[in-house]
């Protein structure tokens, strides 16, 4: 029998597929729920930034990394904060969308990029069916 976290991950994987359909893009992502302490460590190690709470991280696929064939090009991993996902399904969905957009090349470093990314996030979020796990 699947655990609650496995059910949440399965739901987020289904959401990720819907996101790609909505965006009319091909791609596959690995979705995982990760404790905040691990996300903080990953952010510090790979992004050289610190934060008390890390809600989502996205890491692009590396060439040669083994993964199951899905028929769609692998884009990378989206790691969602486990505590947030357990408590707030709509927020976890929004975080997943945010991570996928990063893997598709969207950034939020300049004001115009922030505006474009937020607009697209809202558009996709409206179209994704959100329900509690």
Mean pLDDT by groups of 10 residues along the chain of 133 residues: 88 93 91 96 95 95 65 87 95 96 92 92 86 47
Rounded to whole angstroms, the Cα distance separating 88 from 111 reads 28
Sequence-separated (6 or more) residues with CB below 8 Å from residue 82: 5, 33, 34, 35, 36
Instruction: Write down the pLDDT at residue 79.
Output: 97
Instruction: Write down the pLDDT at residue 133.
Output: 46
pTM value? 0.88
CATH code for the structural domain at 4-127:
3.40.390.30
Instruction: Write down the pLDDT at residue 15.
Output: 93
Nearest residue to 22 (alpha-carbon basis) of 114, 97, 95: 97
The answer to whether residues 61 and 102 touch, using CB atoms and an 8 Å cutoff, is no
């Amino acid at each position: 029998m699947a655990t609650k976290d496995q059910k949440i991950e399965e739901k987020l994987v289904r959401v990720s597929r819907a996101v790609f359909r909505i965006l009319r893009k091909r791609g596959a992502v690995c979705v995982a729920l990760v404790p905040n302490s691990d996300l903080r460590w990953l952010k510090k190690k790979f992004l050289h930034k610190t934060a008390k709470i890390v809600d989502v991280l996205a890491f692009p696929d590396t060439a040669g990394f083994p993964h199951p064939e899905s028929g769609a090009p692998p884009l990378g991993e989206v790691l969602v904060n486990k505590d947030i996902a357990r408590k707030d399904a709509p927020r976890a969905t929004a975080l997943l969308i945010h991570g996928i957009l990063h893997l598709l090349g969207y950034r939020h470093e300049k004001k115009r990029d922030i505006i474009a990314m937020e607009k697209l996030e809202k558009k996709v979020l409206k179209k994704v069916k959100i329900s509690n796990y």
